[in-house]
Amino acid sequence: MVVTICVGSSCHLKGSREIITRLETLISEYKLKNQVELNGAFCMGQCVKGVCVKLDGELFSLSPKDTDSFFHGEVLRRLT
């Protein structure tokens, strides 16, 4: 599974670094390093929607406070 987080200037200002850090922590806690790959990308063209995150090609808009629910509701759900 590939999770790509936008690190362009707009998403960076909206908390992309916090999202990356939290996802790294969750992936480690759930021992998913061999199943989930985190990537960064510059501008996905959806700047007004929040931090852009692609999960296997599907686009999501997150804020740092949404990260845990995104991980549990999308990442873990797709792995089970």
Mean pLDDT value across residues 13-22: 96
pTM listed for this prediction: 0.92
| Confidence category of residue 13, pLDDT binned at 50, 70, 90 | very high
- Alpha carbon distance 5, 70 (integer Å): 13
Summarize pLDDT for 25-57 with one digit per residue, the tens. 999 999 999 999 999 999 888 888 889 999 988
The contacts of residue 44 (CB under 8 Å, 6+ apart) are 6, 8, 52, 54, 59
